[in-house]
Structure 1
Amino acid sequence: MESSGLLVTCCSFAAFRGMHWGLQLLLPSGPADRDNWKWRNICVSLVHSLLTGAGALLGLALHPHMVADPIHGHPPWALVLVAVSVGYFLADGTDMLWNQTLDQAWELLCHHLMVVSCLSTAILSGHYVGFSVVSLLLELNSACLHIRKLLLLSHQAPSLAFSMASWASLATLAPFRLLPLGWMSLWLIQQHHRVPTALVVLGGIGLLTVGVMSIILGVRILISDVLRSRPCPSTSGPKETRGTRICCDGEPVNRDTPTLSIKN
């Protein structure tokens, strides 16, 4: 179990690094052009989110015993799915270190380090695989966030596609991010006597951090994409200038420059 999980992790790392290099041939970027690198990085992240998020949802639907017994109950392919995700986070961390300074990337690197630490426990021990698969449901919401970010980089805000991506990000926030985080937190509290103390502390810190970040993320998208973009009634007042619109609360919003930059 341990050797096969490590092998899949290494293959996954190589595959996602290969995607980065392949996209670099299609979208080369110079030192002053960071958008192309962001495009490549987010496209690879989108592939990972769609693959692991859909795999986790389908797997939990076909094998609900992974929820009933998240420590021991899992089919063999579930470990492969977790290992693929670990390989991606290692590849993405490498890509960030290669293309960004430590000051620019330290927050996401800390996030990746925590995720790899938690998921690697399942790979090395062969336990907690079901618990790890539940955590991969968050990638379904992340896929919507990646699409939204790609539209921002394409200067497609505002547009129908961007509005749909924003609403999809908000609609999937509760069922595929907050609900799994809540279930994992409750399970960890109830079953703390069955889990080593070090894992309880590591998992608790990770769940709390991601939960707070998720709520802040949802609020920021709601304010930026929904509340500030609502149509204003036609009343007498200051005239709009090109690229700027005055919202109902009187706050000018620049529509040429996206206000929120998110990579989850």
Structure 2
Amino acid sequence: MAPSGLLVTGASFAAFRGLHWGLQLLPTPGSAAEDRWKWRNTCVSLVHSLLTGAGALLGLSLYPQMSVDPIHGHPPWALVLVAVSVGYFLADGTDLFWNQTLGQAWELLCHHVVVVSCLSTAVLSGHYVGFSVVSLLLELNSTFLHLRRLLLLSRQAPSLAFSVTSWATLATLALFRLVPLGWMSLWLFQQRHQIPLALVILGGTGLATVGVMSINLGVHILVSDVLRSQPCPPILGNKETRGTRTDCDGESITRDDSTLSLKD
């Protein structure tokens, strides 16, 4: 299984790097012109999330054996889906490395290293593919995270589209991020005596890392998009501009959480 998995991973890496380069030839919306790279990077991430998130949900619906036997029970195409995701994270890590400083990107780069290490185990061994496919359900939430970020970059906050996206982000975060993470953590704990210790440590580290980042992200979105967006009594002299608003204490809040972006 390893040679074919590595071939798919390499092809995926090349395809996503090509998409990064191809988007440079397309015009960027004027409202996002201040940060063209971030716009392109988020668009590529959105393509990956749509592809792998929908693939994981459809695959688990058609082949529930993957959740019953996450180690051995999987169809051949499931390994392809996981390998495609590994290629994406390698391509995105390369893009981050070349376009941001280490201080800006270290958190995401550490996240990518952990995710690639975990998913690569399935690609190289041909085992734990079902477990990896379950983890790709998180990409359904990432789809809305990327849409939300594109709206922020486009200065579309506050707006109805942004509000709907924020609520969809929180809903899918609970359903397709926290629930799968909880299931995977419980399964790993129950099977800890039947799995090599190195894999238990690797899987546990990955789940803990993504879990903490997911909770922090959920709290941030809840506070910035929901709690602080409650209507306030008008204050004389306070003016709001598009992309900026004022909270009930008179503090100016800029809607740009561009440094807080989770890619799973």
Paired residue type of 2:150: L
Give SS of 2:206's match: helix
Q: Structure 2 CA distance, aligned partners of 1:34 and 1:77?
A: 40
For 1:60-96, what per-residue CA distance to the aligned partner results, in whole angstroms no more than 9, with x for missing partners?
Answer: 0111110000000000000000000000000001111
Counterparts of residues 160-239 of structure 1 (less than 5 Å): 160-233=160-233, 237-239=235-237
Paired residue type of 2:224: S
Q: Does 1:252 align with 2:259?
A: no
Aligned to 1:52: 52
Aligned to 1:136: 136
Gap change, CA 1:231 and 1:196, over 3 Å in 2: same
Gap change, CA 1:104 and 1:34, over 3 Å in 2: farther
Q: Structure 2 CA distance, aligned partners of 1:103 and 1:97?
A: 11
Gap change, CA 1:198 and 1:27, over 3 Å in 2: farther
Gap change, CA 1:66 and 1:156, over 3 Å in 2: same
In angstroms, what is the RMSD of aligned CA positions? Answer: 1.6
Q: Structure 2 CA distance, aligned partners of 1:2 and 1:246?
A: 54
Q: Structure 2 CA distance, aligned partners of 1:75 and 1:115?
A: 22
What is the CA-CA distance between 1:240 and the residue it aligns to? 2.4
Structure with more relative contact order (C-alpha pairs < 8 Å, separation 6 or more): 2
Q: Structure 1 CA distance, aligned partners of 2:240 and 2:122?
A: 54
Aligned to 1:96: 96
The answer (yes or no) to whether the contact 2:96–2:105 under 8 Å persists in 1 is yes
Paired residue type of 2:139: E
Gap change, CA 1:245 and 1:122, over 3 Å in 2: closer
Q: Structure 2 CA distance, aligned partners of 1:125 and 1:75?
A: 15
Out of 167-176 and 97-106, give the one that drifted further. Answer: 97-106
Q: Structure 1 CA distance, aligned partners of 2:252 and 2:57?
A: 38
What is the CA-CA distance between 1:24 and the residue it aligns to? 1.2
Out of 91-100 and 76-85, give the one that drifted further. Answer: 91-100
Gap change, CA 1:246 and 1:108, over 3 Å in 2: closer
Q: Structure 1 CA distance, aligned partners of 2:246 and 2:40?
A: 34
Give SS of 1:156's match: coil
Give SS of 2:38's match: helix
What is the CA-CA distance between 1:52 and the residue it aligns to? 0.1
Aligned to 1:123: 123
The answer (yes or no) to whether the contact 1:228–1:253 under 8 Å persists in 2 is no
TM-score by length of 1: 0.92
What is the CA-CA distance between 1:233 and the residue it aligns to? 4.7
What is the CA-CA distance between 1:232 and the residue it aligns to? 2.3
Q: Percent identity?
A: 75
Q: Structure 2 CA distance, aligned partners of 1:171 and 1:8?
A: 32
Aligned to 2:74: 74
Q: Structure 2 CA distance, aligned partners of 1:73 and 1:197?
A: 21
The answer (yes or no) to whether the contact 1:224–1:259 under 8 Å persists in 2 is no
Paired residue type of 2:251: P
The answer (yes or no) to whether the contact 1:224–1:260 under 8 Å persists in 2 is no
What is the CA-CA distance between 1:252 and the residue it aligns to? 2.5
Q: Structure 2 CA distance, aligned partners of 1:71 and 1:165?
A: 35
For 1:212-250, what per-residue CA distance to the aligned partner results, in whole angstroms no more than 9, with x for missing partners?
Answer: 11111111101101111111256xx544224365544x2
For 1:145-195, what per-residue CA distance to the aligned partner results, in whole angstroms no more than 9, with x for missing partners?
Answer: 000000000001101111111111101011100000000000000001111
Give SS of 1:163's match: helix
Q: Does 1:62 align with 2:59?
A: no
Q: Please, which runs of 5 or more residues in structure 1 have no aligned partner?
A: none
Q: Structure 2 CA distance, aligned partners of 1:246 and 1:153?
A: 19
For 1:20-48, what per-residue CA distance to the aligned partner results, in whole angstroms no more than 9, with x for missing partners?
Answer: 000012258xxxx7610000000000000
The answer (yes or no) to whether the contact 1:27–1:40 under 8 Å persists in 2 is no
Matched pairs, number: 255
What is the CA-CA distance between 1:251 and the residue it aligns to? 4.2
Give SS of 2:25's match: helix
